[in-house]
């Protein structure tokens, strides 16, 4: 029996989840998040057509090995393998009834990788991606239905013991709003980071400007806001520069390693490290990576952001 299974039912109290990383981040300091999960799972031989989230149940050791590699590279925050673990996306895989089980397992796998000895220096963020459906009025899914789907996922992540919620890669402010509302209903005690994805000009895909997004996400009650994935570090940097003037909240920047060329991501760890420095100079507090980034990217960013702190040990 793998370690996370032995932790079933072992949710952590709010007091137990308080740690140095989050205290530093929300007091004006900086924190380093991990990078892509899917990229690493595919590198380990998992089919690109498979359901990454279901690996929390079918191959938890593979998921744990990715978390451990990022922790060893210096990540202080690791995201659960639950980006697409919502009712709508899992329904397409005929896994709708496993929403709670997959999210619960994802949280507990990450929690076990950190372990009790590192609980103050590292933390687990529950990854929450878009639902993958169009919301009304342009789509067929109602706002209440969307909020209920987010709440189902978030409730399971909270039960599994995550320290933080990471609503990410949002393409519309309407969907981000329902995710934030769901989080306040299902896990009111957890801090929440809300990140949009942007186009090459640094604007959101629903037409909102970066400034509008920053102001709206702040009004909705996110604890930190920012931008992830997108067209790579340059587009995320432009968005962060513009968001900084519209909010006083901590800013999160987690770009992908550029757009893949013939299946290969083009931004090297060294380039990502240079952008990490520029992102901090632009006002970002939470730095990490998205699609195409690896523990090598994390290690390079760590060397720039927190050079005096030894690499992680797990």
Contact indicator for 296, 70 with CB cutoff of 8 Å: no
* Rounded Cα gap, residues 248 and 228, in angstroms: 19
Q: Can you state the angle between helices 60-72 and 99-114, rounded to 10 degrees? A: 40
> Rounded mean pLDDT of 262-288?
95
Residues 79-105 have a mean pLDDT of 98
Q: Which two tokens stand for residue 313?
A: 């040990």
Burial label for 144, CB within 10 Å (0-12, 13-18, 19+), is: exposed
User: How far apart, in whole angstroms, are the C-alpha atoms of residue 119 and residue 198?
Assistant: 33
Give the residue ranges of DSSP H helices in the chain. Answer: 3-6, 14-17, 20-25, 38-43, 55-58, 60-72, 87-92, 99-114, 143-160, 173-186, 210-220, 233-243, 269-281, 295-305
Q: Which of 27-36, 42-51, 250-259, 289-298 has the lowest mean pLDDT?
A: 42-51
Residues 6+ apart with CB under 8 A from 292: 36, 39, 256, 257, 258, 260, 265, 267
Instruction: Tell me the chain's radius of gyration from C-alpha atoms.
Output: 18
Mean pLDDT of 55-59: 98
**What does the pLDDT look like over 219-260, one tens digit per residue?**
999 999 999 999 999 999 999 999 999 999 999 999 999 998
Examine the pLDDT at 108 and tell me if it is beyond 50: yes
d(CA 310, CA 68): 15
CB atoms under 10 Å from CB of 311, counted, come to 14
Q: Give, for 233, the enclosing helix (H) or strand (E).
A: helix 233-243
Which among 67, 202, 193 has a CA at the least distance from the CA of 129?
A: 193
Taking a C-beta distance cutoff of 8 angstroms, is the pair 63, 81 a contact?
Answer: yes
Residue 137 CA to residue 295 CA, distance in Å, equals 41
Look at strands 284-287 and 224-229 and give their pairing: unpaired
Query: Thinking of the domain 29-305, which architecture would CATH place it in?
Result: Alpha-Beta Barrel (3.20)
pLDDT for 119-155, tens place per residue? 889 999 999 999 999 999 999 999 999 999 999 999 9
Q: What pLDDT shows up at residue 16?
A: 47
The span from the CA of 17 to the CA of 48, in Å, is: 34
Determine contact, residues 83/37, Cβ cutoff 8 Å. Answer: yes
**pLDDT value at residue 13:** 40
| Euclidean distance between CA atoms 163 and 307, whole angstroms | 25
Q: Residue 312: is its pLDDT beyond 80?
A: no
The pLDDT confidence band at residue 48, using thresholds 50, 70 and 90, is confident
- With a pLDDT cut of 70, the percent of the chain lying above it is 92
Strands of the sheet with 284-287, listed across from one edge: 31-32, 284-287, 251-255, 224-229, 191-196, 164-170, 123-128, 77-79
Bridge partners, residue 164, by sequence: 125, 191
* Verdict on whether the full-model pTM lies above 0.85: yes
Q: What are phi and psi of 195, to 5 degrees?
A: -125, 135
Question: Would strands 123-128 and 31-32 be described as parallel, antiparallel, or unpaired?
Answer: unpaired
């Amino acid at each position: 029996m793998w370690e996370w299974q032995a932790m079933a039912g072992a949710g952590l109290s709010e007091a137990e989840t308080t740690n140095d990383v989050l205290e530093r981040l929300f007091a004006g300091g900086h924190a380093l998040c991990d990078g892509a999960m899917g990229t690493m799972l595919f590198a380990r031989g998992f089919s690109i057509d498979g359901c990454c989230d279901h690996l929390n149940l079918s191959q938890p050791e593979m998921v744990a090995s990715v978390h451990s590699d990022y922790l060893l590279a210096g990540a202080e925050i690791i995201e659960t393998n639950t980006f697409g673990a919502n009712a709508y996306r899992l329904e397409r895989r005929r896994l709708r009834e496993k929403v709670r089980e997959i999210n619960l397992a994802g949280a507990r796998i990450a929690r076990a990788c950190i372990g009790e000895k590192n609980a103050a220096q590292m933390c687990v963020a529950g990854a929450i991606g878009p639902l993958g459906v169009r919301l009304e009025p342009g789509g067929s899914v109602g706002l209440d239905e969307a909020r209920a789907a987010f709440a189902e996922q978030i409730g399971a992540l909270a039960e599994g013991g995550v320290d933080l919620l990471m609503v990410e890669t949002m393409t519309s402010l309407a969907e981000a709003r329902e995710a934030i509302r769901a989080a306040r209903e299902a896990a009111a005690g957890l801090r929440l980071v809300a990140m949009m994805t942007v186009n090459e000009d640094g604007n959101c895909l629903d037409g909102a400007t970066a400034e509008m997004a920053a102001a709206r996400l702040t009004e909705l009650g996110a604890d930190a806001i920012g931008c992830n994935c997108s067209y790579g570090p340059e587009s995320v940097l432009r968005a962060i520069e513009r968001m900084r003037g519209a909010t006083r909240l901590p800013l999160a920047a987690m770009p992908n390693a550029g757009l893949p060329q013939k299946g290969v991501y083009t931004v090297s760890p060294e380039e990502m490290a240079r952008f990490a420095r520029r992102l901090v100079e632009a006002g970002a507090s939470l730095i990490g990576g998205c699609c195409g980034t690896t523990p090598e990217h994390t290690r390079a960013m760590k060397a720039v952001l927190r050079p005096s702190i030894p690499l992680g040990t797990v």
